Structure 1
Amino acid sequence: MKNFIFALLPLAIFYSCMNSNNNQHTEQEPDTIENIAQDISNKSLLQPCYMAVVGKDSAFLHIEKDNAEVKGKLFYKPLEKDSRNGSFEGILINDTLKLIYTFQAEGTESVQELYLKLDDNKLVEAVGEYEEKNGKMVYKQPQSFDFSGKSFVFYPSDCLDK
């Protein structure tokens, strides 16, 4: 019996040492305002150009960002419908672009509210029901956006000269 205990003693010491190493805590840099701000800023990096393709329809987006303010151009090129070419202005709130898009289609100028959500490295267009208010189309219920990708999903692309 003594031999059995002496044989287990080295294993018990080894196991004890292993557990004491696992219980040591490594110091991590605490979350600071600067670290959190850097993380948020990394998530909200916008690329200057994006392209989306849905079936045979396509769209191109060019963005210029100045802090939270954004502006740029947006072109929709559907296969069997009139294209929409225009410009937008808006703001970046957290991970969402809230835009006012002014465009030409079928020979008339129109104004439409448009939301795009930054998801990973892509922009997903919001789907929602619209209504006309003061000469522009706005989302009827902005709190019930659908960002599931049922509309255009814009991926970073090379910029086109236009």
Structure 2
Amino acid sequence: MSVFLLNCNKKPEAPVAETPQPDTTAATEKIVDTLVAKSFCYMGVTGKDTVFVSIDDNLGTITGKMAAKNSEKDSNKGELSGFKSGDTLKLTYNFASEGKTGNKNEIYFLQTKNGLNEGIGDRDPETGTKYANEKKIKYTGGRNLKVADCNLVTKALN
């Protein structure tokens, strides 16, 4: 009976609390937000003429702005809209020039990691389409725009 009494007076030991281990896989995973539009800015200088372009790529739908500041002819400024097909931007440029708004021009750019190369195509005499035969578009000889600081480009576009 004395053994029984000794065991009754003994205080129970507190259970040791386990500290949860951090999930190391969650900390090393990088979350990529693919739903946010990606913004790009470009600038090209040819002689005394400068072109500024800013584009937003929202899952292949392109919007943006473009301005050409020309030294010997009227400058122009306007909106870009279109889509991306592979590495080609197929855009419509709605712009104002010579005091006249409502001007519209097709413009294709080949997008590279270094910038944009403007496509030069044959105009269809019947429809006026600048890029009538996409297989014959050349991405040399047109304007070459390099990746530029968006603060500088935005200032020029406003």
What runs of 5+ residues in structure 2 fail to find an aligned partner? 1-37
CA distance in 2, matches of 1:131, 1:56: 31
Structure 2 residue aligned with 1:52, among 44, 47, 52?
44
Contact 2:80 2:92 in 1 (8 A): yes
Letter in 1 for 2:106: E
Percent identical residues? 31
**What is the RMSD of the two structures over their aligned residues, measured on CA atoms?**
2.2
Equivalenced residues, count:
116
Structure 1's 83 and 157: CA in aligned 2 closer, same or farther, altered over 3 A? same
1:158 to partner: Cα distance = 1.0
Q: Which residue of 1 aligns with 2:19?
A: none
Aligned to 1:72: 64
Structure 1 length-normalised TM: 0.64
Higher helix share: 1
The whole-number CA distance in structure 2 between the counterparts of 1:142 and 1:50 is: 24
Is contact 1:63-1:71 (8 Å) kept?
yes
Alpha carbons of 1:133 and 1:52: their partners in 2 closer, same or farther (altered >3 Å)? Answer: farther
Question: Are 1:151 and 2:135 counterparts?
Answer: no
2:115 aligns to what?
Answer: 122
Residue type of the alignment partner of 2:123: Y
SS in structure 2 of the partner of residue 143 of structure 1 = helix
Q: How far apart, in 1, do the equivalents of 2:71 and 2:126 lie?
A: 29
Calculate the TM-score normalised by the size of structure 2: 0.65
Deviations along 1:54-75, one digit per CA (max 9) or x if unpaired, are 1111100011111110100010
